[in-house]
Amino acid sequence: MAQPLIEAFFDAPTNTISYLVGDPATRTAAVIDPVLDFDLASGVADTRSAEAILAFARDHGWRIEMVLETHAHADHLSAAPFVKACTGAWVGIGAHIRDVQKIFRPVFAMDDLKTDGSDFDRLFEDGDRFAIGTLAVEVLHVPGHTPADVAYRIGDAAFVGDTLFMPDYGTARADFPGGDARTLYRSIRRLLALPEATRLFLCHDYKAPGREDYRWETTVGEQRRSSVHVHDGVPEDAFVAMREQRDAGLSVPKLLLPSIQVNIRAGHFPEAEANGVTYLRIPVKMVRQSGVAG
């Protein structure tokens, strides 16, 4: 069985790993989880990270035909529209993105947002199969982090998004709207039922305490033996209790608000206003208000 050629691109500001995955027989390739560079303080977006992927593909003779999103990311903006514009690639994501769109449409009062997933070119159901050249790709629905997470199994590799981190760091949070720790556990056990030699490629790494370098490749066997959260023998209830307690103390990702608004639109920004400027929304909640009574 032919195995994919895999090149990883690490984005330090968001600790995100994007992948270029190619078929050695046809030089056909897919980009998985491309990052759009975005400075929150200035509101400036640019495409340098995506351009690096495109340049590598061009220099090595790879033809990009698709962009595969593992889920609607909450910590970086997607560069899928830029990759599509440059290459003609189609953009795919799990079909349950429709659930995520329905969750967040009222949160941001996005009255123009379509909730049928049609901003994406392809919506994948669990078990769907397609090809990157001659490489067979299987889609696994692995909800829990969000309702729409999918993993892409390609040869001896699986691209699992945020569902798992390196064994010394653990697993994804499950406290975003639509997330669920129990569902996450079951999705992880499904991934860990793959052959032990299956290589797992992750979407993020934050360097566990004591580790000097960033890493994003592990195996099913390594996770089953040594994951600090979900190694073999960790029961479901214990995982759920750990995950819920841990999530309660986690801070909100810095790019959460812009990321969600953009990524559930397949990486597109809202239409510009009459003044030609594009705006994103920031929901505000007043949790405490005090004053001097008159």
Tell me the one-letter amino acid at 60: H
Tens of pLDDT, residues 217-244: 999 999 999 999 999 999 999 999 999 9
CA gyration radius, the chain: 19
> Is residue 171 situated within a structural domain?
yes
Residue 176 structural domain: 5-263
> Is residue 147 situated within a structural domain?
yes
More confidently predicted of 38 and 287: 38
> Is residue 294 situated within a structural domain?
no
Q: Which helix (H) or strand (E) holds 97?
A: helix 97-107
68: which 2 tokens?
């595969």
The CATH number linked to 184 is 3.60.15.10
> Is residue 287 situated within a structural domain?
no
Q: Taking a C-beta distance cutoff of 8 angstroms, is the pair 39, 48 a contact?
A: no
Q: Taking a C-beta distance cutoff of 8 angstroms, is the pair 56, 87 a contact?
A: no
pLDDT at residue number 290 = 66
> Is residue 149 situated within a structural domain?
yes
Q: What is the domain count for the chain?
A: 1
> Is residue 50 situated within a structural domain?
yes
pLDDT at residue number 1 = 65
Tens of pLDDT, residues 76-105: 999 999 999 999 999 999 999 999 999 999
Tell me the mean pLDDT in the region 41-63.
97
pLDDT at residue number 87 = 98
| Cross-strand partners of 9 | 18
Identify which of 167, 140, 172, 170 has the alpha carbon closest to the alpha carbon of residue 153: 140
Tell me the mean pLDDT in the region 255-269.
96
Q: How far apart are CA 213 and CA 247, in angstroms?
A: 25
> Is residue 293 situated within a structural domain?
no
Averaged pLDDT score across all residues of the chain: 96
